[in-house]
């Protein structure tokens, strides 16, 4: 994983975000598809900006621990 300065500039990959969130890649992609997780695209690559992701996690995300 790149250092946090690079993550601020380029965002996290889906693979990096899944490690941060502690979920599978499919869950990260599902949250993105539902519009619940901040993201942007660089060509075909999906990136999740670090600071908005951190704020999203600090607010409890949108899942609220439901199963």
| pLDDT score, position 35 | 92
What average pLDDT score do residues 49-63 get? 84
**Taking the CA atoms of the chain, what radius of gyration do you get in angstroms?**
11
Q: CA quadruple 17, 2, 38, 62: dihedral positive or negative? A: positive
| pLDDT score, position 8 | 63
From CA 43, how far away is CA 66, in angstroms rounded? 33
Where helices occur in the chain by DSSP H, the ranges are 4-10, 14-21, 25-33, 50-58
Residue 67 pLDDT greater than 50, yes or no: no
| pLDDT score, position 56 | 87
Residue 7 pLDDT greater than 70, yes or no: no
As a CATH number, domain 4-58 is 3.90.105
Residue 5 pLDDT greater than 90, yes or no: no
Residue 43 pLDDT greater than 60, yes or no: yes
């Amino acid at each position: 994983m790149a250092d946090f300065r690079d993550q601020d500039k380029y965002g996290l990959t889906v693979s990096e975000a899944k490690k941060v969130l502690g979920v599978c890649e499919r869950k990260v992609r599902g949250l993105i598809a539902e519009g619940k997780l901040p993201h942007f695209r660089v060509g075909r690559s999906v990136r999740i900006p670090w600071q908005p992701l951190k704020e999203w996690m600090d607010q409890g995300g949108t899942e609220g621990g439901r199963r």
